[in-house]
Amino acid sequence: MSDRTTLVQIEDLTVKFPGNPAISHVNLTVERGEILGIVGESGSGKSVTALTLMGLLADDAQICSGQILFDGQVMAQAGRAQDKALYRRYQGARMSMIFQEPMTSLNPTGKVGAQVEEMLLLHTDLPKEERRRKVCERFAAVGLKSPEILYGCYPHQLSGGMRQRVMIAMATILHPDLLVADEPTTALDVTIQNQVIALLKEINEREKNAMIFITHDLNLARRICDRILVMQNGQVVESGRTEAIFEHPQEAYTKRLIAAVPKRKRGEEAVVTQQPPVVEVAHLNVFYPKQKTGFFKKNEKQLVVSDANFVIRQGETLGLVGESGCGKSSLSKAILGMNRDITGEVRHASVRPQMIFQDPYSSLNPAKTVEWLLTEPLRAAAARDDAWKMTADKRRELVCEMLRKIGMDESYLHRKPSQLSGGQRQRISIGQALITRPALVIADEPVSALDVTLQAQVMDLMKKLQREMGVAYLFISHDINVVYRMSDRIMVMKDGRIIEQGETKQIFEAPQEAYTKLLLAES
Amino acid sequence: MAYQSIRLFGKKIITLIMTLFLVSVAAFLAFQIIPGDVVTAILGTEATPEREEQLREELGLNDPPLVRYTHWIGGVLKGDFGRSYRYSKSMNEMMPVAELIGDKLPVTLWLAVLSVLLIIVVSIPLGVFWVRSKNRILDAVLNVLTQTTMAVPSFFLGILVTYFFGMVLKWFTPGGYVSYRDDFAGFLRYLIFPAISVALPKIAMTARFLRNSMLTEQSQDYVRTARSKGCSSRRIMYGHVLRNALMPVITFLGMIIAEIVAGSIVVEQVFGLPGVGRLLISSISNRDFPVVEILILYITAVVIIVYFWVDMLYRVINPQISKQ
């Protein structure tokens, strides 16, 4: 049935959750030693496929057709109850998984060493000392320093990158035949992302295990995978060797996905005119209160942004790139006036800037309707400034106008955020920010939580609104490609300092700083 | 780490002292403001003005409030809690508050200890059992049962317990209180039933709370990780979920414990237990201020100290807190 080289064979697999099918008639094979990429947007069924293979589906999910073979052994089959005991023998030992969220995938109350050791406890008879030694060895093998100390650490004491390394150590400690990595780097910074990808690739080459790499990021899939499987709406759209998929995509959907990847090519040239500035920042230092270190010592401050100098001009987009923790958000808070512990100068040309946040799921009040959410900034403005006082009818008119501008219509007025898709929610956030016609909008990673195609749509919308309304954007992102696509000028930030700024073209073609070159090389 | 813990401990102690000080001022002031004359309360309305004035002088009621407060708090700090206006030790001597309370405190404390033990021993296994049982009928039964138990006021539960265990099963004699001085075992046996009345509603609450907490934890990402390692559901439950689920439950238990230790007033009344709860009620209606003031200080101290220990325990089992 299966030859020597085939490790996983999924045949005609259909999985249903109560009510709706999650994946239908999926076929795939994984050869020993290869990396198979499963690419698709969220909701395309890529995670469900992996979870079904791993035997981790929720109890209410049901396999309606097909079967899963692992190394010739039937693991799951339609119409048969899941053999939990069989799966428990295989899980961890022969097939293991790395999850997307390193922040939440480890037990917060368990020491990381013990959590990795649990694998050995479950699947081997090694004595305690031996187990501990192996765990430390494994920590070292995945590039974690001082494993002995790390063994006794709790997850919250580690950075995201370290936690993901711990997860990888855990998943590979028993040298499984199959490693399933579900968006393992999505939650990480670019540089960390690259280290983790390199590590996974290295493990694959060293141990010759098969890997399923699930991602929405085509660039990433291209770099690591031997073969790629494209999924959409629970079905396999296309599969083939990586180069073949990228160079000669057959299906329209695949072509669209590839086209949506932000490339370093700008459609339109930047309008370089000397518009008046909407905000001028001079010698800005931003501080954060630090935890008291001694009982009688005074509160100390930590300098998080030092000596920032820049202007944002009317109608332009200034991109701000840097890793998390570099001070991007602190800088934006200082400009917004949310952090007043600053020295230096922030001069606004007009009223307060508005803000678009990263997470469209949690930044909208779930109890309110779209209409309420969009009128809220108007009410707030009216409370500050009599010029914004208006009748309820007038408000509704403005809201409807804004809805049309953001590509929605009146029919959404009474919906709540839970009845909107992620893209629609982010449109509402944008509408909220723009409805009071601010001169400047600060967008903090506005597309990072979205799929590639949605990302492209939201960025296009933001540009369209900029042309129509003449608003300036401070566009913050860790993704240099996204920034490239949006910005007229770019600032690069590292450790609280703006290390480089200039025209987008100039930054990309002739970066001056080593760090900028690194960022460009890694994306 | 050790240094930090000591510093934290020190801080908490300072907070405790400051709170007690403020409460002592508040308790003292309250009785300056509320209407009702102590002297009339003691002597009745028939006494002569001379006798009244004499008593006023004796009790120091003619001094300015600040002097009286300083005098009182100075005494408290030296261990002299003052004397009751109401209870007398012999013909000519009023009962010292310390003795009065010292006599009742063991009753309340033992009732609290038994109740808390009952709560912990029953509610946690019950909560775990509830989550693990996949039986829908059992789930519904437990749901209704705990809901009802939670809603029943403890005095009514007390009456039910007295009726059922006392009158029907005759496991104890209602009203037949045995002093801990005479027969400690008998005393404890008698206390079990009041303890059940105190504990039952709290058991229902805690079990429900734990169940909900565990259900929430079960859908966390780390549980999926544990499953992907090949953990059995049993191991996931006890090795991963329970510990995390207990975090909020501990805070909740702390609140319950403080409440119980501070006095299960109603239940003491129903079972005729001579505890501080009863003493507090009678002292308030008798305007026996020295007793009430000390009891208020005692209740405050208990609440703060219990919270303090809960906080410490929380730090031990929740590594994320101890970091800060």
**Residue A352 burial (C-beta neighbours within 10 Å; 0-12, 13-18, 19+):** middle
Domain span holding position B66: 27-99
| Chain mean position to CA A312 | 27
Q: What is the pLDDT of residues A416-425, one digit of tens each?
A: 888 888 888 8
pLDDT digit string (tens) for B118-154? 999 999 999 999 998 878 899 999 999 999 998 888 7
Q: Could you tell me the pTM of the whole model?
A: 0.71
Of B229, B244, B320, Cβ closest to residue A122: B229
Q: How many CB pairs under 8 A join A and B?
A: 77
What's the whole-number mean pLDDT along residues A250-269?
71
Dihedral sign, Cα of residue A449, residue A455, residue A459, residue A465: negative
Question: Chain B residues with CB inside 8 Å of A119's CB?
Answer: 229
Query: Do B167 and B127 share a structural domain?
Result: yes
Q: Which residues of A touch B11 (CB under 8 A)?
A: 295
Residue B304 lies in a domain: yes
Question: Of A254 and A192, which is predicted with more confidence?
Answer: A254
CB–CB contact A167 B225 (8 Å): yes
Per-residue buried b or exposed e for A164-174, using 16+ beta carbons within 10 Å of the residue's own CB? bbbbbbbbbbb
B78 reaches A (C-beta below 8 A): no
| Whole-number Å distance between alpha carbons of A108 and A96 | 20
Among B39, B93, B90, B27, smallest CA distance to B290 is for B27
Residues A393 and A389: their CA atoms lie apart, in Å, by: 12
To test the contact with chain A by mutation, choose from B8, B14, B222 the residue with the greatest count of A C-beta atoms within 10 A, namely B222
How far is the alpha carbon of A84 from chain B, nearest alpha carbon, in Å? Answer: 9
Taking an 8 Å cut-off on Cβ atoms, the answer to whether B244 and A167 are in contact is: no
Q: Is A354 helix (H, G, I), strand (E, B) or coil?
A: strand
B267: Cβ–Cβ under 8 A, 6 or more apart, which residues?
A: B111, B154, B155, B158, B194, B197, B198, B273, B277
Band of pLDDT at residue A1, cut at 50, 70 and 90: very low
Q: Alpha-carbon distance A320 to A333, whole Å? A: 14
* pLDDT for residue B322: 54
Q: Distance, in angstroms, between A267 CA and closest chain B CA?
A: 42
Q: Which of B221, B230, B239 shows the shortest C-beta gap to A104?
A: B221
- Chain A contact set for B319 (CB, 8 A): 108-109, 154, 156-157
Partner A, chain B 127-186, Cβ-Cβ below 8 Å = none
Nearest to A109 among B7, B11, B319 (CB): B319
- B240 with A91: Cβ contact below 8 A: no
**Residue keyed to tokens 């309250």:** B30
Q: What pLDDT shows up at residue B259?
A: 82
Per-residue pLDDT band for A269 (boundaries 50, 70, 90) equals very low
Which candidate from B225, B227, B318 shows the least CB-CB separation from A106?
A: B225
A154:B319 CB<8 A: yes
- Report chain A residues whose CB lies below 8 A from the CB of B243: 109-110
How remote is the C-alpha of A237 from its chain's centroid? 24
pLDDT at A19 over 70: no
Sequence-ordered alpha helix ranges (H) in A435-472: 452-469
d(CA B276, CA B256): 18
Cβ contacts of B318 on chain A, cutoff 8 Å: 109
Place of tokens 């099963």: B169
> Could you count the other beta carbons within 10 Å of the beta carbon of residue B55?
16
The reply to whether residue A109 touches residue B244, judged by beta carbons under 8 angstroms, is yes
Contact of A174 with A116, CB cutoff 8 Å? no
Q: Do A107 and B240 touch (CB under 8 A)?
A: yes
Query: Are B53 and B172 part of one and the same domain?
Result: no
Q: List the one residue out of B293, B280, B283, B284 whose CA is nearest residue B73.
A: B293
Same domain, B94 and B144: no
Q: Which residues contact A204 (CB under 8 A, 6 or more apart)?
A: A33, A35, A179, A211
Rounded Cα distance between A523 and A193, Å, is 10
Q: Are residues B108 and B90 both part of a single domain?
A: no
Among candidate residues B62, B78, B99, the one where a domain is terminated: B99
Cα nearest neighbour of A167 on chain B: B225
Residue A115: closest CA among chain B residues belongs to which residue? Answer: B226
Q: How far does the CA of residue A97 sit from the closest CA of chain B (Å)?
A: 6
Structure tokens at A488: 């007229």
Please indicate, yes or no, whether residues B46 and B189 belong to a single structural domain of this protein: no
B230 in contact with A at a CB cutoff of 8 Å?
yes
Q: Which H/E stretch holds residue B70?
A: helix B65-77
Q: Angle, to 10 degrees, between the axis of helix B289-317 and the axis of helix B65-77?
A: 50
List Cβ<8 Å contacts ≥24 apart for A196-205.
A196/A161, A196/A164, A196/A165, A196/A168, A197/A223, A197/A224, A199/A142, A199/A143, A199/A165, A199/A168, A200/A168, A200/A224, A201/A35, A203/A142, A203/A168, A203/A172, A203/A179, A204/A33, A204/A35, A204/A179
**Which residue of B5, B11, B14, B229 is the best one to mutate when testing the A interface, meaning the one whose CB has the most A CBs within 10 A?**
B229
| Chain A residues within 8 A of B317 when measuring between CB atoms | 109
Reading the block at residue A190, the tokens are: 């670019």
Nearest C-alpha neighbor of B127 from the set B151, B149, B148, B146:
B146
Contact state of A107 with B224 under an 8 Å Cβ cutoff: no
Which of A89, A92, A110 lies nearest to residue B228, judging by beta carbons? A92
The A-side interface with B (CB below 8 A) comprises 54, 56, 87-93, 96-97, 99, 101, 104-110, 118-119, 122-123, 154, 156-157, 167, 170, 291, 295
Of B48, B73, B99, which residue is a domain's last? B99
Per-residue pLDDT tens over the stretch A486-507: 899 999 998 888 999 888 888 8
Chain A residue nearest residue B247, CA to CA: A109
Residue A88 to residue B231, Cβ atoms within 8 A = yes
B4 assigned to some structural domain? no
Q: Is the distance from CB of B170 to CB of B86 less than 8 angstroms?
A: no
Across the interface, do A105 and B318 touch by the CB < 8 Å criterion?
no
Residue A262: the pLDDT is 65
Q: Cα Rg for chain B, rounded, in angstroms? A: 24
DSSP state letters, B73-127: HHHHHTT---EEEEEESSSS-EEEHHHHHHHHHHHHHHHHHHHHHHHHHHHHHHH
Range scoring the smallest mean pLDDT among A266-280, A299-313, A336-350: A266-280
Instruction: Return residues 200-219 of B near A (CB < 8 Å).
Output: none
If you average pLDDT over residues A369-392, what whole number do you get? 87
Surface-to-core class of residue A521, CB atoms within 10 Å of its CB (0-12 exposed, 13-18 middle, 19+ buried): exposed
- Residue B55 and residue B162 in one domain: no
Tell me which residue in B221, B232, B318 faces A105 most closely, judged by beta carbons: B221
Chain B residue at shortest CA distance from A93: B229
Domain-located, residue B9: no
**Are residues B50 and B167 both part of a single domain?**
no
Same domain, residue pair B90 and B156: no
CB contact at 8 A, A501 and A491: yes
Verify whether the Cβ–Cβ distance B230 to A88 is below 8 Å: yes
Instruction: Give the total number of structural domains in chain B.
Output: 2
Q: What is the DSSP letter of A91?
A: B
Q: What percent of chain A has pLDDT over 90?
A: 30
Does some domain include residue B132?
Answer: yes
Tell me the pLDDT band of A94, cut-offs 50, 70 and 90. very high
B3 inside domain: no
B227 touches chain A (CB under 8 A): yes
Grouping H, G, I as helix, E, B as strand and the rest as coil, residue A457 is helix
Instruction: Look at residues B99, B132, B159 and tell me which one is the last residue of a structural domain.
Output: B99
The token pair at A364 is: 């909208």
* B8 is a domain residue: no
Record: contact A122-B231, CB cut-off 8 A? yes
Do B261 and B304 belong together in one domain? yes
Whether residues B222 and A105 touch (CB distance < 8 A) is answered with: yes
Candidate from A224-228, A260-264, A363-367, B193-197 with smallest mean pLDDT: A260-264
More confident: A475 or B15: A475
**Torsion A329-A330-A334-A335 (CA) sign:** negative
Judge if B115 and B88 occupy the same domain: no
Cβ contacts of B221 within 8 Å, gap of 6 or more: A99, A101, A104, A105
* B318–chain A Cβ distance below 8 A for any pair: yes
Mean pLDDT of chain A: 86
Checking DSSP bridges between strand A440-444 and strand A354-356, what pairing results, if any? parallel
Interface test with B, best of A82, A105, A153 (most B CBs within 10 A): A105
Q: Summarize the confidence of residues A433-453 as an average pLDDT.
A: 86
- Smallest CA–CA distance, residue A234 to chain B, in Å, is 22
Judge whether B169 lies within some domain. yes
User: Does residue B312 lie in a domain region?
Assistant: yes
Region A14-43: mean pLDDT is: 87
- Which mean pLDDT values do the consecutive 10-residue runs of chain B (324 residues) have? 73 85 87 73 76 79 82 84 78 80 85 92 94 87 91 84 84 76 82 88 94 92 92 90 90 86 75 84 83 86 83 77 53
- Domain CATH number, residue B194: 1.10.3720.10
Token representation of residue B137: 């009928």
* Overall average pLDDT of the A351-375 stretch: 85
User: For residues A238 and A251, is the Cβ–Cβ distance under 8 A?
Assistant: yes
Q: What whole-number distance in Å separates Cα of residue A188 and Cα of residue A183? A: 10
State which H helix or E strand residue A9 sits in: strand A6-16
Least CB-CB distance to B318: which of A99, A109, A119? A109
How confident is the model at residue B263, as a pLDDT?
62
B9 touching A (Cβ < 8 Å):
no
State yes or no: pLDDT of A7 exceeds 80. Answer: yes
- What is the band of A297 on the pLDDT scale with cuts at 50, 70, 90? low
B123 and B90 housed in the same domain: no
Q: Looking at the structure, do residues B93 and B242 belong to the same domain, yes or no? A: no
